[in-house]
Amino acid sequence: MATTRTEADACTLLDTDHKAVKKMFKTYEELAGSKARGAAQKKLELAHQICQELTVHATVEEEIFYPALREALKETDILAEAEVEHAGAKDLIAQIEAMEEADEMFDAKVKVLGEYIDHHVKEERNEIFPKARAAKSLDLVRMRDQLMARKEALMGAEVA
């Protein structure tokens, strides 16, 4: 069954994550310029929240979304590129999570991570999502439900 543009599908869910994280990066950028007391601690907490969101998002894409696309699409080079981008982001996430102080290098790493994610999001929106929506063999509405369930399970595991 083809997905209508008005019905929320897997791509819509993933893009909602993208928008939420973009807002978080924007808030971080505002905090990075702040000299207010407590700004450093807020940056540290927000950066860790960004890392958690991105880790969960990447996991559901890698476990559910990308494998389904690999089966449905003829050309999968764009998926290989997306997976390499995930690896680069995960490396930066690990560096950020290992840091205990929101210093100049911390800010730089969060900024570069934001740039990586921005680039990755543009490719998903402009190339991957349209191909996914055009693939007749994908039930993106059912996949949305799978992604949501997995995301909830991962978020629950992160909190516990």
Q: Is residue 4 part of a domain?
A: no
Query: What CA–CA distance (Å, rounded) separates 56 from 154?
Result: 6
Closest residue by Cα to residue 82 from 142, 154, 131: 131
Number of structural domains the chain divides into: 1
Q: Is residue 2 part of a domain?
A: no
pLDDT at position 160 is 47
Q: Is residue 1 part of a domain?
A: no
pLDDT at position 33 is 86
77-98 and 104-123 helices, crossing angle to 10°: 160
* Other CB atoms within 10 Å distance of the CB of residue 107: 18
Per the structure, the complete domain to which residue 149 belongs is given by 10-159
CATH code for the domain of 93: 1.20.120.520
Which class for 81: exposed (0-12), middle (13-18), buried (19 or more C-beta within 10 A)?
A: middle
pLDDT at position 158 is 59
pTM score, two decimals? 0.90
pLDDT at position 152 is 94
Q: Output the tens digit of pLDDT for each of the chain's 160 residues.
A: 444 456 799 999 999 999 999 999 999 999 988 888 888 899 999 999 999 999 999 999 999 999 999 999 999 999 999 999 999 999 999 999 999 888 889 999 999 999 999 999 999 999 999 999 999 999 999 999 999 999 999 998 755 4
Query: What CA–CA distance (Å, rounded) separates 43 from 120?
Result: 23
